[in-house]
Structure 1
Amino acid sequence: MTISMYQALMPSIVRSLNNLMAILEKGAAHAEARKIDPSILINSRLYPDMLPLVRQVQIASDVARRGAARLAGLEAPQMEDTETTFPDLIARLQNTIAYLETLTPEQIDGSEEKSISLPVGKETINFEGLSYLLYFILPNVYFHVTTAYNILRHCGVELGKRDFLGNP
Structure 2
Amino acid sequence: MATLTLAYVVIPTFTSGLNTLSHILSVAEAHAKANGLDADAEYPSASLTEDMRPLSFQVQNATSTVRRTLARLTGTPEPVWEDKEVTLADLRARIAKAHALLKEADAAAVNARAEQTVDLPLGPTAVIKLSAQDSALKQGIPNFFFHLQTAYAILRLKGVPIGKKDYITSFLEVV
**TM-score for the superposition, normalised by structure 1:** 0.94
In the TM superposition, 1:5-154 aligns within 5 A as 5-38=6-39, 39-119=41-121, 120-154=123-157
- Percent same amino acid among aligned pairs? 35
Deviation at 1:65, TM superposition (A): 1.2
Any unmatched runs of 5+ in structure 1? none
CA distance in 2, matches of 1:33, 1:79: 33
Contact 1:57–1:144 (CA under 8 A) maintained in structure 2? yes
Contact 2:18–2:99 (CA under 8 A) maintained in structure 1? yes
Deviation at 1:151, TM superposition (A): 0.3
Contact 2:120–2:135 (CA under 8 A) maintained in structure 1? no
CA distance in 2, matches of 1:148, 1:76: 24
Deviation at 1:128, TM superposition (A): 1.3
Q: How many correspondences in the alignment?
A: 168
Contact 1:59–1:144 (CA under 8 A) maintained in structure 2? yes
CA-to-aligned-CA distance 1:30-61 (integer Å, 9 cap, x gap): 22222223222111111111110000000000
Deviation at 1:118, TM superposition (A): 2.3
CA distance in 2, matches of 1:64, 1:140: 10
CA distance in 1, matches of 2:83, 2:31: 24
CA-to-aligned-CA distance 1:114-145 (integer Å, 9 cap, x gap): 11112331221322112111110110111100
CA RMSD of aligned residues (A): 1.4
CA distance in 1, matches of 2:129, 2:60: 23
Contact 1:5–1:111 (CA under 8 A) maintained in structure 2? no
**Correspondence for 1:165 among 153, 163, 168:** 168
CA-to-aligned-CA distance 1:136-163 (integer Å, 9 cap, x gap): 0110111100100010011100001111
Contact 1:118–1:126 (CA under 8 A) maintained in structure 2? yes
Deviation at 1:111, TM superposition (A): 2.1
